[in-house]
């Protein structure tokens, strides 16, 4: 069984994937880390700056295709993993990536207070700049229904420690 973590940037997917890995003994795999590795160490902000968001979304899809038959992993997905771009450059739900994520494992949405998320990612140079297109709060508001519709389980992480979140997820998984 695989655990798939989705949610907006800054919600704590990477930290939680490591905590779940430790608790379950399953290796943690990050889609973003695989992308960086496959591009010779080029950071995601540099990749997006050079190639654009549309090509980056295609790269995410190719990584998911490689992981579709993985067994026994905790998958930490980038914040935009559920999305592709239409011909006009607008974000749309990626049915093809969602289908792969569902094939890979149980999708768990991590949610957090929007103000906390904005404060956490503001000025973070390790992440691609979103401000050139839309305000982060606008992106979060637009993406939230798609995140919620796609998840098998949702957990609001606001005010919770990673140990508490891990415990809630493991409890839910036991009931499956």
Residues annotated as binding site? 10-15, 32, 57, 79, 127, 143
List, as residue ranges, the binding site for substrate: 32, 57, 79, 143
Q: Are strands 83-85 and 3-6 parallel, antiparallel or unpaired?
A: unpaired
Binding-site residue numbers for Mg(2+) are: 14
DSSP string, 89-125: S-EEE-HHHHHHHHHH-EEEEEE--HHHHHHHHTT-T
Closest CA to 117 of 139, 84, 147, 91: 139
Known binding site for ATP: residues?
A: 10-15, 127
Q: β-pairing, 153-156 with 106-111?
A: parallel
């Amino acid at each position: 069984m695989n655990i798939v973590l989705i949610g907006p940037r800054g919600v704590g997917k990477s930290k939680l994937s490591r905590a779940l890995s430790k608790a379950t003994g399953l290796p943690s795999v990050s889609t973003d880390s695989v992308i960086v590795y496959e591009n010779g160490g080029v950071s995601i902000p540099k990749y997006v700056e050079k190639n654009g968001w549309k090509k980056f979304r295609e790269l995410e899809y190719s990584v998911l295709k490689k992981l579709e038959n993985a067994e026994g992993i905790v998958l930490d997905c980038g914040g935009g993993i559920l999305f592709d771009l239409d011909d006009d450059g607008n974000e749309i739900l990626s049915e093809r990536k969602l289908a792969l994520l569902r094939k890979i494992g149980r999708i768990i949405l991590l949610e957090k207070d929007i103000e906390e998320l904005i404060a956490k990612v503001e000025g973070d140079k390790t992440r691609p700049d979103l401000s050139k297109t839309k305000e982060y709060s606008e992106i979060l508001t637009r993406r939230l229904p798609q995140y919620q519709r796609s998840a098998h389980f949702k957990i609001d992480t606001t005010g919770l420690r990673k140990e508490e979140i891990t415990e809630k997820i493991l409890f839910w998984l036991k009931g499956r």
